[in-house]
């Protein structure tokens, strides 16, 4: 296997082949119209430092929209860490609007399982109705209970696809529990562990986490990925008003 000591720039046609090197991979999604020299310099340093044990890959999403969509259109520059998994790959962590410190932290998480630091949870702006609702906990569903709890629900259901190792999932968890109480009786808010319920996660093409999918009458009607209370609040409000 060749040893790469500098970042590989590739495109949507060749990305799968590059990831076939079967090395842990740090994928940088960037927009060539936006310059970020400190991050690019850090990427080059990390590629040289970790040559032989880490693959560093760059994709210009302004020219490769399919790749950007595959990773849920994370705000650029974005970091995605990827591990070899069987005959394919698996996303281990991801971060949008990445900084140099994020690059180092995600590489350490990828190579050494170092925990990712928890960012402060942004304060949501609940409506008057939500503010007066009681606090609660989001229920947990799995492959066996998903159909009955989610697809057959008479209420809209917001599903949080998460995993125990996912830093952003842990950051957003308190807000998800609060939303479950705030919207009780209007929208079900549930959580599904993608490691424990891979069939459902694959069925809905969950490629990065946290991913949130809103179901109505058994059908997915909205989805996004990322730990954004604002987007979750908007989705819940639209579920109630729609």
3-state secondary structure of 211: strand
d(CA 190, CA 152): 14
3-state secondary structure of 190: strand
Q: How far is CA 59 from the centre of its chain?
A: 18
Return the structure tokens found at 63.
């020219």
Active-site annotation holder among 74, 169, 180, 213? 169
d(CA 171, CA 174): 7
**Is 229 designated active site?**
no
Active-site annotation holder among 98, 166, 213, 227? 166
d(CA 157, CA 189): 6
DSSP letters, 83-115, are EEETTEEEEEEEESS--HHHHHHHHHHHHH-PP
**Is 166 designated active site?**
yes
Residues with catalytic function: 166, 169
């Amino acid at each position: 296997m060749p040893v790469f000591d500098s970042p590989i720039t590739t495109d949507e046609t060749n990305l799968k082949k590059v990831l076939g090197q079967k090395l842990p991979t740090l994928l940088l999604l960037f927009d060539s119209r936006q310059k970020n020299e400190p991050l690019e310099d850090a990427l080059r340093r990390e590629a040289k430092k970790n040559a032989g044990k880490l693959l560093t890959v760059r994709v210009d999403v302004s020219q490769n929209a399919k790749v950007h969509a595959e990773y849920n259109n994370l705000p650029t520059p974005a970091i995605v860490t990827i591990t070899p998994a069987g005959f394919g790959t698996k996303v281990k962590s991801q971060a949008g609007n990445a900084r140099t410190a994020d690059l180092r932290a995600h590489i350490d998480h990828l190579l050494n399982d170092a925990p990712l630091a928890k960012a402060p949870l942004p304060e949501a702006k609940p409506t008057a109705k939500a503010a007066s609702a009681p606090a609660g906990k989001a229920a947990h569903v799995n492959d066996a209970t998903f159909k009955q709890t989610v697809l057959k629900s008479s209420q809209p259901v917001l599903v949080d696809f998460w995993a125990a190792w996912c830093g952003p999932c842990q950051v957003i968890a308190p807000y998800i529990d609060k939303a479950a109480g705030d919207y009780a009786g209007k929208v079900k808010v549930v959580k599904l562990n993608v490691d424990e319920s891979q069939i459902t996660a694959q069925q809905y093409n969950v490629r990065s986490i946290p991913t949130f999918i809103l179901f109505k009458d058994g059908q997915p009607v909205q989805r996004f990925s990322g730990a954004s209370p604002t987007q979750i609040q908007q989705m819940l409000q639209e579920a109630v008003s729609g």
